[in-house]
Structure 1
Amino acid sequence: MRDDVIAHARGDITPGVTSSTLETRDPLSLKRFADLALPRFCSRYLFSEPQQFPVSKFFFGFGIGGLLGIVIYLFLIDPLTIPIIAKTMLLYLLAATFASGWGSSAYFRCSNLIIVPNMLGTEGRAFLLILVIAAIYAGPGANLQHNFSEIPRSIGCTVELQINNTKMLWKILSTPVKNILRNVVQKTHDFENIGDEVKSTFQDAKQEVEGKSGYDNSKEEELKQKEKVTSTQKQFDIKNILRCEYVIELGITKCYEWFDMKHKECMDAIVVPIISHILCIPMQFSFLCNILNMGELWCKKYVPMEAEFGGMYDKANMSVNNVGQGLSSLLTIQKDDDIDAVLNITEMTLKDKILTSIEKRRSTFQNMLAFLNSIMTLSFVFVFISAFKYTKQYNSDIRHDNYYVTTYFRQIDARRRKLKKRYILPLKKGEMSKIVFPFSPAIQGPEMAAMMIELRQCILPIIMLILVSVFDKILFNVLDVIRRHSSISYVFASYHKLEVLVGGDTLLANILRKTIGLLNSTSNTFETSSNEMCLPNPIEMSAIDHLVTCAPVLGLILLSVLQVFFYRLRRVVASYFFPKREKRRVLFFYNEQLRKRAIYADVKRKMIMSKARINRLKMDTPLGAFYRHCKWLRKFIRRYCIVCNESETKKSYVCPTPDCGTIYCHQCWRDMKKFCFACTPYEEFIHGPDYSDSEYGSD
């Protein structure tokens, strides 16, 4: 009301606009649109006075508020990972708060509806910015993380493959040796048979040397006691002499027996007594048998063996007795783990470490996505706060968001024009930079600055998206080249044949055939392997994936441009719930524009002179000197009106004063009364009171 009193005191408002007029709803554009789009009873109900239909409005708002609270719970609270009890309590709290607020408070209803344009404005851009980061992180970021994880997996698999190949190579090299050793172990019983055969063969010689037959054993014992025989050589000498003597004695005995037998046969053959005795006398010459006793001397001289025979026999006997005794074989293969202990790296350890590292990164990635979802939910709280803050500022600060030429503004200006008083419309070009026509599809002065700020804030997400996408594409191409051109096949082929031939049928030949012959072995190995499983398997993002990732960024850019139009709706919503406040704001804005119009020329003159001083200072710089001396370049430079910043056209006025060249559009040159304040002396054009710059913003 104070603004109205000031306006009436100054005579700036038509007499028809009084406080009583502000108590009723004028047929504004919103009401006219509701009359056309909705049934008549709905339009009357929506635009009725606050005291009309109080009960129905309360219950209708109560139901709408409760439903809105449930919807907000489903979209914001339900996806969070919190206990079910907390979710239930938040559901009841939201439903009760919104139901009671919508049923009883126009302030609450207005703030809730302002959430919609705020969601499509700066506050919503914060929500969308988090969505952009989440899309980048879940799109090319996730793909980049997957492709990066392929690198350690491929390296670990390659190391494991090399370990397996080394094992296979070692197996191929050691198999022949192991087979020979196994043959030795398996042929142990054959060695025992060879020992038995040697013992059997040596048994005849042993029986001959150590046997008790062929002589008188009693004489042997007497000679041993007499000569104190201890060595095998002496024993064998005595046995040989005794056997030689025994043979001679046996021959003498046989000789006597032969003479006796022949004498008897002779006597039997000749029956004449005397003749038989004469003729058979030669058969009684048995004394001739004693001649054999001379053989004892020969036995003692020639029968004894060589001096080394006894020692050789002892050694041979010992060797034969030891053949096959204690013969056993055991094949033991010992693995040396010193290398693994030093390097602390084994096949399972390497694989476990790589898998653990990849799992940690995947877990971090999932936690980051969950954190972004929580931030998106919390960011919606700031949208609520901004909506309530706008409603509060709308009702407390009359200058807040008050630069629109509304229908009521035009009605006031039309009344004043009809009464032939000072009016505002049409606006001068110099005033267009601070006023917005809400029905114009163009982006206007105050909105342009806000839009440029929002667009500049889009640069960082765009750069982030480009960098992540480029890195992902480069990494995919590198890994794809490795996958297509790094396939290696390993072939392990080995042929081994060792054959030792031993001829002959002797004992030594048999022994050699059964010992050295064990070295005979044959092996043929052919193994193949490939590193295809170890090659990286990168994933390339499809066009649809890129489109899904870029959609939030494109939405962010589009929203930065369209937010100026959505922000105009905030004033429309607030004016519906607070019509009296809206009319006061429009009256104040109209009166302020009248005061600014009164000092328009002086303010613009001072602005021109200030810009002219700045331009003259710039001319003293090297760049300014280049601009002065290269006048032919000026036609390539786009110049603007010094008053309204409109681009130079054919109708623009260029000051002909040397070293000035200030540009004025046609309307601004007329508004400045065709005087160039940039080059004309200041004292010539100071007439009347001196208006300072502070007057531009005074009440």
Structure 2
Amino acid sequence: MPDDTSTSAIPPTTTTSGGSITTKAVETTIKTEDSTPSPTNPTPPDKPKTAEERVAKFFTKTVVTLLILGYLTGVGMAMVWQLYETGRFRLPSGLWLKLNIIVLVFLFLCYSRNVRCIVTLCIPIMCSSKGRSLLITFAFILVATGPTWNILRNVDVLTSSLSCGQTQLKHALEEMLEVMKEPLVAIKRAVQTAMSNIKKVMKQVELLLYRIKELVLVVLSGIKVMMEWLNSIVKFCNKEYGTPFDRCMKIADDAMKDCREKLGYFQGLCHATHLFSMLCYTVKVIDLVCVMVVFFDDSVLGTIMEKLKEFTEGIKNMFDASVTFDHDFTFSTVASKNLTDVGRDIMDEIHLRMRGFFLIFGWLDVVGGFLCIWVIIKALYFKMKYLRQPGYDNRYLTKDFLEIDEQRKLTEEERALPLKKMEKRKYIWITSCRLTRREVFRLMRSMLFLFITTVQIFCICFADYSFYWVLAMITYYGSQTANIEVDPYIAVDVEGDGYVSDMLRGIVDAFEPFSQKYSIDATPCLPRPRRPNFRRYLEIGGCCLLAWIFLFCEPYGLRLRHIVMRLYYPAEARQRAAWLYNEILMKRMTFLKLLRRKARAKFKHDPRADPYTFLDWLRAKTAGCFLCRFILGHRKGDTCLLCGFPLKGDRVECSTPGCKAVYCQSCFDESNKICCICKKPVEYGDESDISEEIDSSDDPNAVREPHESDIYCMVP
């Protein structure tokens, strides 16, 4: 075939009317190139609706509406009754909320074809990044309510165990300090006991000395009383009779006086009595006896008392002893908080540091709901772009593309098939297992992010189980008791009941090993970890596995969107196939080839020989550049659904209400002027598309006219 032949599949002799009318996607009226009907574009009158159409419309518009309103009214009455009975209002949750959502979705599916299309599109979109994000969000919700919460509970258990262990350690240190001080305390106690015993002995000796002293004092008191009695007798005697000397002198004086009285003048003879008075001096020594008694009372008794006092003081000093203990040991603990408060502060600090983490997990349910809405938004966005932009994500070869190529093959025009080597990397069949370069790049990028997320989830679950395993091992080995016999040691037995034996027994007991009767029971302080929920692990693993399955099915799931849209909107799918066909042909076209075709079209006055403009050629060549697409815009204009030729002046629209099929005049004539989209194969003469199971009946109603309930022709 020559390099500069036309791309049109229409014979050169075909003529078309000169008018041109552009229809919008939402129009349902019948339009042609001219305002008046023509043989090439007949406009049949509207047919009256059949009973089947009326029943279908009544069901979809009235019955379903009443069902939705009735169901919502019933739910509202149930909630009002709950408020009346319980006195409080509570939104639906759990299983009831899920059932309500399922019922409403089912009712809306029955109500609108658009809703059915959107819900069907949401299924393959779940294989995209939005669906995986929803699954990963749900997995993180399970992680937050399962392993993460279990880790925090085990941290609390560990903190309580550490607090209990520190309390036991504190008591053990106090007891060990007592053990360290026990020898000194025992010596002090033994010495104090000995001193107490010595004091008891001293008190007994002192009591004995007091008794001896009392006896001596009694004897001395008796002697003193006797001497006082003798002295009193002497005094009485001296008082009554005077002293012997005085009485002797008095007798001598009385004798001299009586002699003088009796002798008168012979008084001189009476001086002989002086000799008698001289004899009185011989009895004067009798006065020395009283003097000796007084001397014995003052000297002998004083000496005896002094010696006795010295004896008692000596005995007292013999048993007097003073023991002074000088021991300096300082051990102080300064704690502003007790161990329970310390453990509580640790947990508060952990919660404070993980506040952002908890906040994120707290909003995960909201994020999950937003992602569900986002999936629906993506379905709406894809539907809108699919219907309005033929070039949006249009790189898959479909059955419509093949039909266009077969149509061009019949007219011996330039064909897009077979594809070139470079084109096969970019355009593939929609049912092919091979991936394009763009799909491979997107798959690898998604694998990287999903791998990181999976590793994070695995690390959290692994940390939960590892933490539980460590605490379980601590509890297991901490509860094991070792039966270790106490090493034998020598014991000293002190016999006797005396004071010295008691003192020695106390000293010996003080120096016995204290550890022989010391033990600490750490069982109450062992951690009791919370067992992980292994069922939750399976749920998390299932979400991750499903996300990986969605990842590998993402390219095929995104292709499935085109198949769904082709089922609901076959006319638009045919137009997109024609657009892709022309796009491939334009990308193959060189600039020189475009100039030759324009020159030939201008020379021959054949508009079909020049279907493309320079702007279309530039758009096709720069389709991979976003900036160029933004500046040049998108190629507009309809193409024939059969041959893919851009329509200019030979545009023919289908006259069936709701059908948006557009043909060139040549293809429409070859189809017997019958639309192959909304009509049955028996109507346009293609018996190869007839299904024997459906159209083998002789019933004339087996091939019916399309109506509003037809999924292919209903207005969106």
- TM-score normalized by the length of structure 1: 0.51
| 1:372 positional shift | 2.9
Match of 2:429, SS state, is coil
Instruction: Give yes or no for contact 1:128–1:552 (8 Å, CA) kept in 2.
Output: yes
Aligned to 1:202: 210
Residue 365 of structure 2, aligned match among 369, 373, 376: 373
Residue 398 of structure 1, aligned match among 366, 390, 393: 390
Q: In the alignment, is residue 421 of structure 1 matched against residue 424 of structure 2?
A: no
Instruction: Give yes or no for contact 1:435–1:445 (8 Å, CA) kept in 2.
Output: no
Aligned to 2:667: none
Residue 125 of structure 1, aligned match among 114, 132, 150: 132
Q: Deviations over 1:193-212 (max 9, x none)?
A: 98578446623422431578
| 1:460 positional shift | 2.7
The RMSD of aligned alpha carbons is: 6.4
Aligned to 1:575: 566
Q: Deviations over 1:555-577 (max 9, x none)?
A: 33332221111122222333333
Equivalent residues in 2 for 1:10-25, closer than 5 Å: none
Match of 1:427, SS state, is coil
- Counterpart Cα distance in 2 of 1:602 and 1:172: 108
Match of 1:214, SS state, is helix
- Counterpart Cα distance in 1 of 2:132 and 2:72: 22
Match of 1:340, SS state, is coil
In structure 1, what residue type is equivalent to 2:58? V
Q: In the alignment, is residue 340 of structure 1 matched against residue 340 of structure 2?
A: no
Match of 1:442, SS state, is coil
| 1:127 positional shift | 1.2
Aligned to 1:57: 60
The structure whose RCO (Cα within 8 Å, separation 6+) is larger is 2
Q: In the alignment, is residue 385 of structure 1 matched against residue 385 of structure 2?
A: no
- Counterpart Cα distance in 2 of 1:143 and 1:403: 49
Instruction: Give yes or no for contact 1:153–1:354 (8 Å, CA) kept in 2.
Output: no
Q: In the alignment, is residue 592 of structure 1 matched against residue 588 of structure 2?
A: no
Equivalent residues in 2 for 1:17-416, closer than 5 Å: 53-58=56-61, 85-87=90-92, 102=109, 105-134=112-141, 156=163, 158-173=165-180, 177=185, 195=203, 198-199=206-207, 202-209=210-217, 214-215=222-223, 217=225, 220=228, 300=296, 304=300, 307=303, 309-310=305-306, 313=309, 339-341=332-334, 343-344=335-336, 346-354=338-346, 369-416=361-408
Q: Deviations over 1:626-662 (max 9, x none)?
A: xxxxxxxxxxxxxxxxxxxxxxxxxxxxxxxxxxxxx
- Counterpart Cα distance in 2 of 1:517 and 1:693: 116
Match of 2:433, SS state, is coil
Greater Cα shift, 371-380 or 54-63: 54-63
- Counterpart Cα distance in 2 of 1:693 and 1:359: 61
Q: Deviations over 1:214-260 (max 9, x none)?
A: 35749649989xxxxxxxxxxxxxxxxxxxxxxxxxxxxxxxxxxxx
In structure 2, what residue type is equivalent to 1:578? Y
- Relative to structure 1, the CA distance from residue 116 to residue 185 in structure 2 (aligned partners, 3 Å threshold; closer, same or farther) is farther
- Relative to structure 1, the CA distance from residue 181 to residue 422 in structure 2 (aligned partners, 3 Å threshold; closer, same or farther) is same
| 1:425 positional shift | 2.7
Instruction: Give yes or no for contact 1:139–1:545 (8 Å, CA) kept in 2.
Output: yes
Aligned to 2:519: 528
In structure 1, what residue type is equivalent to 2:572? R
In structure 1, what residue type is equivalent to 2:436? Q
In structure 2, what residue type is equivalent to 1:120? C
Instruction: Give yes or no for contact 2:397–2:428 (8 Å, CA) kept in 1.
Output: yes
In structure 1, what residue type is equivalent to 2:170? I
- Relative to structure 1, the CA distance from residue 410 to residue 200 in structure 2 (aligned partners, 3 Å threshold; closer, same or farther) is same
Match of 1:398, SS state, is coil
- Counterpart Cα distance in 2 of 1:108 and 1:425: 37
- Counterpart Cα distance in 1 of 2:503 and 2:462: 72
Greater Cα shift, 480-489 or 195-204: 480-489
Equivalent residues in 2 for 1:504-583, closer than 5 Å: 521=509, 525-529=516-520, 549-583=540-574
Q: In the alignment, is residue 464 of structure 1 matched against residue 471 of structure 2?
A: no
Match of 2:519, SS state, is strand
In structure 2, what residue type is equivalent to 1:438? I
Q: Deviations over 1:73-106 (max 9, x none)?
A: xxxxxxxxxx964548999997898578546543
In structure 2, what residue type is equivalent to 1:166? L
Instruction: Give yes or no for contact 1:132–1:461 (8 Å, CA) kept in 2.
Output: no
| 1:64 positional shift | 9.5
Q: In the alignment, is residue 448 of structure 1 matched against residue 440 of structure 2?
A: yes
Task: Quote the sequence identity (%).
Answer: 16
Instruction: Give yes or no for contact 1:499–1:519 (8 Å, CA) kept in 2.
Output: no
Aligned to 1:430: 422
| 1:414 positional shift | 1.9
Match of 2:517, SS state, is strand
| 1:124 positional shift | 0.5
Instruction: Give yes or no for contact 1:135–1:552 (8 Å, CA) kept in 2.
Output: no
Q: Deviations over 1:537-594 (max 9, x none)?
A: 8899899887665544443333222111112222233333334433333333333334
- Counterpart Cα distance in 2 of 1:561 and 1:601: 44
- Counterpart Cα distance in 1 of 2:97 and 2:534: 41
In structure 2, what residue type is equivalent to 1:203? R
Instruction: Give yes or no for contact 1:154–1:534 (8 Å, CA) kept in 2.
Output: yes
Unmatched segments (≥5 aa) in structure 2: 1-6, 29-50, 74-87, 233-285, 320-328, 595-613, 624-633, 636-716
- Relative to structure 1, the CA distance from residue 370 to residue 173 in structure 2 (aligned partners, 3 Å threshold; closer, same or farther) is same
- Relative to structure 1, the CA distance from residue 542 to residue 137 in structure 2 (aligned partners, 3 Å threshold; closer, same or farther) is closer
Instruction: Give yes or no for contact 2:157–2:527 (8 Å, CA) kept in 1.
Output: yes
Q: Deviations over 1:502-558 (max 9, x none)?
A: 99xxxxxx8877888876746664223476777788899899887665544443333
Instruction: Give yes or no for contact 2:117–2:568 (8 Å, CA) kept in 1.
Output: yes
